[in-house]
Chain A
Amino acid sequence: GAVVSQHPSRVICKSGTSVKIECRSLDFQATTMFWYRQFPKQSLMLMATSNEGSKATYEQGVEKDKFLINHASLTLSTLTVTSAHPEDSSFYICSAKPIGLAGVDQETQYFGPGTRLLVL
């Protein structure tokens, strides 16, 4: 149980196009999902916190008009990279905080497998 999927797993696009990445919790619900970007040395930068039914909370330095987040249901959050440029090429990973699951800590997050974006 407690699986999070991301689609697509990898995408190559031309500069200037928009790319949508989906994050789904498959067998649990989540009012809060997080979007991260992986940087060199493998640490993950928190980009934004996605809240079901309300606007996402973006971290400082993350352009909300460029990285559009929609959390339309308790099992789905989407990240759209608008007008992608080569510097947006990275590994994007989401995670979901479960609600209604027994035996989990308040800080438990289930991560998706990530999406590798390459912008040419």
Chain B
Amino acid sequence: DQQVKQNSPSLSVQEGRISILNCDYTNSMFDYFLWYKKYPAEGPTFLISISSIKDKNEDGRFTVFLNKSAKHLSLHIVPSQPGDSAVYFCAASEGNYGQNFVFGPGTRLSVLP
């Protein structure tokens, strides 16, 4: 079964509002998490990461929250912009040594003007 799940295949948000993308994982050994952003016909591009020693990491409009007890993380985009429209993948790994990441299936975000 999938170890990393993104249960919302798609999400639509009004421009200027908050976008919240969710990700759940089952493997308690995962301790490093990443969010990727993907435009059509391109590969996923690294966006933001978080280590399990933290519960929050912020980078401009993007904030990732980690709830280890619930095995849940979320990506918040505030304020959302039309250029944020893309597919967002959550990924997890044991350690952050640049090796085997387990990806979720993605959530397609549409930011409406």
- Chain A positions near chain B (C-beta within 8 angstroms): 1-3, 9, 36, 38, 40-46, 91, 93, 95, 103-111, 113-114, 116
Contacts and interface: CB of A to CB of B under 8 A. Distances in A.
Interface residues of B, number: 25
A91 B97 CA distance: 12
Nearest to B104: A111
A9 to B, nearest CB: 8
B99 A116 contact: yes
Interface of B: 1-2, 9-10, 34, 36, 41-46, 49, 87, 89, 98-103, 105-108
B98 A42 contact: yes
4 pairs of A and B residues whose beta carbons are closest in the complex: A105-B9, A111-B103, A44-B43, A46-B43
A54 B14 CA distance: 40
